[in-house]
Structure formats: structure tokens, C-alpha cells
Amino acid sequence: MDYGLQGKVAVVSGASRGIGKAIAATLASEGASVMLAARTASDLDDAAAEVDALGDGRVETMAADMTNPAEVELVVAAARARLGAVSIAVSNVIGHVIDVAKEGEGPGAGNFASMPAEEYRREFHHLLVSAWALAHAVLPDMRASRWGRICNIGSGVAREPATNLPHVLPNVVRPAVAGLYRMMANRLAGEGVTVNNILTGSILTARNLSYWEWLANERGSTFEEVTAGFHSQIPLRRQGQPAEMAALVAFLCSEAAGRITGQSIPVDGGISRHL
């Protein structure tokens, strides 16, 4: 299937590893030129070499904090100057950090009773402000061409809070991001711009593996016991791969998906319970 991405220009945040890198690679393999953005320049260089080998579009990188609106604007301006008008934007910013050594950070302090107000503010800034900032920065290009694709890599907790895990921060903030994207989709549909939110289940990335190791330690169990218990709840009986997320994003960015907008789409192996 020709996704119609030849000559399109994409900005992908969190693109140095995991899901973001897989998305950048898939878009490049479909002929898009891609700006990879993340915090660490050395990681970006390694990712760019992999992505560049997969497509005939250009690959550029820029180290930036994609939760900072001013830096997001710089990334988009650089993409426009080096590659052309931006027509695809994928926001992929992580929230809480797994670090049990620091009070108030990560799942280790993810309970309502122990979470300070500042951590809610930080999670909101990381997840919602970053998604808003990238959409805001790319919209002038998309409106001018009357064609655009905006995607956010979210989480299943946007629709079904994970009440069995210490996840108070994403449980609270992820639904707000989904609401923002739903509102944008409604306002932008008439201008040829689609806006969709992808709800991850458990995707096997390095960060995800570290989470399961942390959770096993927290529960006094082994890694194998914790993951086996989780897999038993998934109809597919396995975790997902970054490439499976990337395949959906590439389709949503295609010409063929022009009627799909305002959706929160799970990629979770069937674990979600909503109709």
C-alpha cells in the first residue's frame, strides 16, 4: 500500500529510541523526510543513522526539550528551513520517571496520599503542554497547505485508569491530553488536518523493561512472575513491539486515513474493556 507520504515532512519528538524511533523509521521508509527531536544529541545521531538507511527522504536531528514551547518552536522552524513545510507531527513525550531513589517521582510515589502538588504540575507540563506546543507550532504550515496529520502517543489510562497500579499522575493527566486532541480534531477537520491519540498498552521498550524490573522489586517478586501475571490478562498474551505502534501511526498519517480524526485508538493486545 502506498501511504502517500513521499515528499511529506514530519517532526517526531522522543525519536532517539523506542516508539519514537520506530515511528520515524517507518515514516522514512514510506518516503517522508523526518526531523528527529529528543534531549540527547548522541542518541539522536545513532537513531538518525538507522532511520536514514531506511528511506529516500532526508533525515535531520535537533536536540531539544520538547516540553518547552520555545524549544519546540525552534525544532519546527529548523525542520521547515532544512526540509520544507511540516505536514506531519508526532508528539511522543514521556511523563513520570521511574526513579524510586527520589521522593515524589515515578510509580514509587504514584499514590494519591503521597504525591505532592508540584508533581501534578510537572506531569501536566510534560504530557499536555508538550502535545499542545508541537501542534501549535506546526499548524501554520498545515493550514497553509490544507493538509496535515497530528498524532500523540498517549496511554490506555486516558480512557481506563490503571487503578491496580500506583499511577496517579498519568491516570489524571492522560485523559486531559485526549480531551485536548478531541477538541483540536473538531476544530481542524474542515481545514484538512486530522488529529488522533494513540493509546499504548504495554510496549516492549527499554524504558518499559525497566518499569517491570522496578515493579517486581516493589512487589518482592521476580521479573518473570510479574510479567507473566500481566501477560495472562492480555488476550494476545504478549506485550507489543514499537513497530506495531509505528505501523498505526504511519497509516493515520496517510492519504487513505483522511477520514479518521478525533480518535483515541488503543494498541494494547485487546486488554481494554470499553466497547
Report yes or no: 181 and 196 within 8 Å, Cβ to Cβ: yes
E strands, 14-58, are 33-38
Q: pLDDT of 184-200, one tens digit each?
A: 999 999 999 999 999 88
Neighbours of 225 (CB within 10 A): 12
Distance CA 16, CA 25 (A): 11
**Domains identified in the chain and CATH numbers:** 9-203+240-266 (3.40.50.720), 204-239 (no CATH)
Q: Helix or strand or coil: residue 44?
A: helix
Greater confidence (15 vs 242) lies with 15
DSSP for 170-227, please give it: HHHHHHHHHHHHHHHHHHHGGGTEEEEEEEE--B--HHHHHHHHHHHHHHT--HHHHH
Mean pLDDT, the chain, rounded, equals 87
Q: Which three cell numbers stand for residue 34?
A: 523526518
Q: What is the CA radius of gyration of the chain?
A: 18
Average pLDDT over residues 235-256: 87
**Across residues 205-230, what is the average pLDDT?**
77
> pLDDT tens digits, residue range 65-114?
999 999 999 999 999 999 999 999 999 997 765 554 443 344 444 677 77
Sign for the CA dihedral angle at 2, 193, 143, 10 comes to negative
Q: What is the pLDDT of residue 239?
A: 75
pLDDT 10s digits, 16-51: 999 999 999 999 999 999 999 999 999 999 999 999
Top-confidence residue, 263 or 160: 263
Report d(CA 212, CA 228) in Å as an integer: 11
Does residue 167 carry a pLDDT above 80? no
Report field, pTM of the whole predicted structure over 0.85: yes
Count of residues in the chain: 275
